[in-house]
Amino acid sequence: MAGMKAPPRLQSLVEEGLIDTVVRQLMSGKEAMVYVVRCGDETRCAKIYKEADQRSFRQAVDYTENRKVKNTRQARAMAKGTKFGRQASEAAWQSAEVDALYRLADAGVRVPQPHNFCDGVLLMELVTDAHGDAAPRLNDVDFTPEQARRHHATLITEVIRMLCAGIVHGDLSEFNILLAEDGPVIIDLPQAVDAAGNNHASRMLLRDVANLRNFFGRFAPDLLTIDYGNEMWDLYQRGVLYPETVLTGHFRRKTGPVDVGGVLREIDDASAEEAARRMRMAQS
């Protein structure tokens, strides 16, 4: 397999012997550039994180709320926005994906297997299709109604597993799920949030689940009537959600006084998120 000249950010990994050759660039996204690389007999991918000023996706406070950093000096610097603080924020942002990947892989969630993290580069499994080529994203594939229902069910199970592991993806959609030979694989986790420690986790989970329903509902309209998100979060909050939990798809909301201010904030947040989502789709 012929290679290409290693980009400067991958050169140190080549010198360390973590990568043998760089095969080709796989993609350039809003947060990172991804290369196909050879490591001994294996083909893997290397994700190079872009610097903060080169990324269109900002470290929104909703996502970074309650993220742990190593010491109080870092925390103070991050709050003040000093140069050191920005570097600390960047490191925390990158390690959030690495930490989430290892946690989810250990929990049996369908994510790429991480192998190493060095100098801002994440080395992980290359997800492939039946021909051994890089797997396509869901948004590049058409499905029969039966396929749509099957993949939707698979992914709902994965979201449950993630939630049981204490993680909400936070930006789950057809743009960051790959269709491997044996089914969907979830990718792109730098915005993953702690389900128990982030006040926005429930809203992000509901949006993730709604994105799945709306995408697969294009191919199987019967999915559009199902409400898994609220049911899932209710079970999680009550401590009775397990990886093997089977959802009904129906959730009866408790009636009571309406928090009008809370509803209006939700509407404002949803509008801002939809605008950001449209911008990301335009850049994809």
Residues designated as active site = 171, 188
CA 223, 224, 230: angle at the middle one, nearest 5?
A: 95
What whole-number distance in Å separates Cα of residue 229 and Cα of residue 249? 8
What number of other Cβ atoms are within 10 A of residue 194's Cβ?
Answer: 16
φ, ψ (nearest 5 deg) of residue 193: -120, 160
Helix (H, G, I), strand (E, B) or coil at 185: strand
DSSP H stretches of helix in 165-197: none
Residue tagged 């969907």 (tokens): 184
Residue tagged 């890089």 (tokens): 134
DSSP count for the chain of H helices, then E strands: 8, 9
What whole-number distance in Å separates Cα of residue 28 and Cα of residue 174? 17
Residues 149/223, Cβ–Cβ less than 8 Å: yes
φ, ψ (nearest 5 deg) of residue 177: -130, 125
Burial 22-39 (b: 16+ CB within 10 A, else e): bbeebeebebbbbbbbeb
Residues 120/95, Cβ–Cβ less than 8 Å: no
What whole-number distance in Å separates Cα of residue 170 and Cα of residue 267? 17
CA 96, 102, 107: angle at the middle one, nearest 5?
A: 120
What whole-number distance in Å separates Cα of residue 9 and Cα of residue 3? 16
